[in-house]
Structure 1
Amino acid sequence: MVSIAPSPIALLDAAGGHPLLHRQLFDATTGTYTYLLADVASGQGVLIDSVFEQHDRDLSLIRELGIELVATLDTHAHADHVTGSWLMQQATGCAIGLAKATRAKNVTLPLQHGDQVSFGGRHLDVRSTPGHTDGCITYVLDDQSAAFTGDALLVRGCGRCDFQQGDPHTLWRSITEQIFSLPNSCLLYPGHDYTGRTLSSVAEEKAFNARLGGGADERDFVGHMTNMKLPHPGQIAIALPGNMRSGQPPGEQPVQHWAPIQRSFAGLPELLPSWLAEHSSEVTVLDVRSEDEVDGPDGRIETSLNIPLPELEQRQGELPCERPLVVVCHAGSRSALATQQLLKAGFERVANLRGGLLCWSDEGYPLIGSINH
């Protein structure tokens, strides 16, 4: 990975202790929350409840922050989306963690109640919380300041109990004994929410959860859960078999792209200078700087085509269609905008040069006319 400056996660480091980086990501299609946690001092991290379709987004953030991913973890075998665990293992070599009781394929870290998942100087405690499924796990942060409850306990709700080994009596015990036994101040991060609620706390759910808070007992909870009459999950026929393979596609070969595209967290397709240096004869290098800059002391990449960014929309007809486009500028900012414009205009094989000509030059690749070469 190209490093223009110190890794962003390193900039968060502080004297003493083990500060934590915590990011909450969202998949709007399934209402799923994904959580990225990292120990700032070591740069090691874990990813909880990833979504297959969001793999590029998650991997981009991990790479941008310079995180060494130790494991991708799931709270259970989901019935509404396919996990991205297998894809992430292929990309990073991380472990795949899931409850041993689930008996899913490709799991390299089978987890049981009382286990710990360590990342740098931090760790997650594994608490078995079945009832929604037999293999539900809640991950509790080492200082009990946060817990990641999956579908066992949601904000003002909980996971359904009417399929996939669900049982309301079991879920009652899991929540009251394993989650409500945490400190009242412990923040609870759910696996899903469909109304924009991002987190809760033990104290809030004890007081306000309509299914089991505010003085409700097990009879109240079981009566509520057994009379909900919910529709069958629409994606279960796809999601459950996929999750029993930890997200590995069935019999599919990986898609071959024209280049090893890496997407930024903003979703922009990017290529590294090292790849462009080896394949410059196979692509069109489009320089979107002004003519004065191209002919100036910063120099240019040999054989590059110059169309300044303000003129690009009107001059797209000058772009050769038979070869992919790699867009460049001084630092990668204007070329990022140009890349977006070209994608919107229907150009499919286009990517931005990550870091622009600054990175190209810093890595020792030649620039024609540069005063530094």
Structure 2
Amino acid sequence: MSVAPAPSLSLAAAAGGAPLLFRQLFDAETGTFTYLLADVASRQALLIDSVFEQHDRDLSLIRELGLNLAASIDTHAHADHVTGSWLMHEATGCAIGLAAAAGAENVTRPLSHGDRVAFGGRHVEVRATPGHTNGCLTFVLDDHSMAFTGDALLVRGCGRCDFQQGNAHTLWTSITEQILSLPDSCLLYPGHDYTGRSITSVTEEKAFNARLGGNATERDFVGHMENMRLPHPRKIAEALPGNMRSGKPREASAAADWAPMARSFAGLPELSPAWVAAHRSDVTVLDVRSAEEFNGPEGRVSGSVLIPLPELESRTSDIPSDRPLVVVCHSGSRSALATQQLLKAGRQQVANLRGGLSRWAAEGYPLEGVVQA
């Protein structure tokens, strides 16, 4: 059976380095940025600051782009969300990277200042930048064109210093000596932002950061940081213990999925033709093409139920409810919309056939009613 090839990656190359794939992802609930980097030539990838609840999204993107994840690494043990590193390790076998100083469980790659984390022909340099916490790290791309600062340095701000062994004097030193010492053109990517700011640069923060830019001195900075009096993050009670386990749940989920579901980057539950073919008697195949297509020369899955997409909303009572649903169309596009509609209507055990009947046929599975050319 043929398998669809991985997509071609035509991506921007960092100056002076091998072509690099770069994606910035966002979790609106916690204001967290997650970063995916990949060496295009080798398809080896690195994930920075993942979020537990966004695991399906991140894994789907990695799989859709045909990447092999070398490591899931965190800039620090977060207090506002739980990392997705353990889940990603379970799904891909990647390394789990966190500062050795954090002392967390399940870390397979303890990181210290001066280490390198490689992904194919590229790497990030590890710089210790404590002060927000004692285990904060900044990851600097090999050509110094970009750096991932976690909470040590934010856009026009920086991380707080009032818990997790934070210290304003230490953070001043970390920022000025390890981050703002990078080339002025270096782009800085923060761990969080809550007002829509997603990127800055060394030049900008030197000039405009209200806490430490312009003519600010260490005394100014410390005076600001020690008088902020912020409430603790609302998820700190669950986030810190969770991150000290590298995101490993205390107990395995008791509710197993009814099928080995994958999710597209758009968040849609999908099943492969191979699984559906092997479990054909356990599911209802719902075909949402037109009647002309269903009875036409392209054929149909044996025993499938026809309800054209325009009629789906008015005919939900016609859909069998005794078995899970696998929704199909020619390419998987119309069936994706049908799957979304069924999920919104409260149907839980429903999935789209990945690639539609086109992929089903390409992988050698039978269709009845096919007219041979």
TM category, shorter? over 0.9
User: RMSD over aligned Cα, in angstroms?
Assistant: 1.6
User: How many Å apart are 1:217 and its aligned residue?
Assistant: 0.9
1:9, 1:40 within 8 Å by CA — same for their partners in 2? no
User: How many Å apart are 1:369 and its aligned residue?
Assistant: 1.4
Letter in structure 2 aligned against 1:80: D
1:232 aligns with 2:232: yes
Show the 5 A alignment for 1:188-207. Answer: 188-207=188-207
Q: Counterparts of 1:72 and 1:185 in 2: how far apart (Å)?
A: 26
SS in 1 for 2:158: coil
SS in 2 for 1:315: helix
Letter in structure 2 aligned against 1:369: G
2:17, 2:143 within 8 Å by CA — same for their partners in 1? no
SS in 1 for 2:275: helix
Match of 1:99 in 2: 99
Match of 1:130 in 2: 130
2:2, 2:363 within 8 Å by CA — same for their partners in 1? no
**Which consecutive unaligned segments of at least 5 residues does structure 2 have?**
none
2:273, 2:360 within 8 Å by CA — same for their partners in 1? yes
Match of 2:27 in 1: 27
Letter in structure 1 aligned against 2:37: L
Give the alignment's TM-score, normalised by structure 2: 0.97
Match of 2:118 in 1: 118
1:328, 1:356 within 8 Å by CA — same for their partners in 2? yes
User: How many Å apart are 1:308 and its aligned residue?
Assistant: 1.0
User: How many Å apart are 1:254 and its aligned residue?
Assistant: 5.7
Give the alignment's TM-score, normalised by structure 1: 0.97
Q: Counterparts of 1:33 and 1:13 in 2: how far apart (Å)?
A: 20
Match of 1:7 in 2: 6
Q: Counterparts of 1:10 and 1:235 in 2: how far apart (Å)?
A: 37
SS in 1 for 2:279: helix
User: How many Å apart are 1:255 and its aligned residue?
Assistant: 3.5
1:344 aligns with 2:350: no
User: How many Å apart are 1:274 and its aligned residue?
Assistant: 0.3
Q: Counterparts of 1:279 and 1:322 in 2: how far apart (Å)?
A: 15
Identity %: 73
Q: Counterparts of 1:136 and 1:281 in 2: how far apart (Å)?
A: 53
User: How many Å apart are 1:372 and its aligned residue?
Assistant: 4.3
Cα 1:308–1:71 shift into 2, 3 Å: same
User: How many Å apart are 1:252 and its aligned residue?
Assistant: 3.0
User: How many Å apart are 1:370 and its aligned residue?
Assistant: 1.2
SS in 2 for 1:197: coil
SS in 1 for 2:313: coil
1:34, 1:49 within 8 Å by CA — same for their partners in 2? yes
SS in 1 for 2:175: helix
2:2, 2:362 within 8 Å by CA — same for their partners in 1? no
User: How many Å apart are 1:17 and its aligned residue?
Assistant: 5.4
Cα 1:254–1:217 shift into 2, 3 Å: farther
SS in 2 for 1:70: strand
Q: Counterparts of 2:58 and 2:135 in 1: how far apart (Å)?
A: 24
Residues 56-102 of structure 1, C-alpha deviations (whole Å, 9 max, x = no match): 11111111111100000000000000000000101111000000111
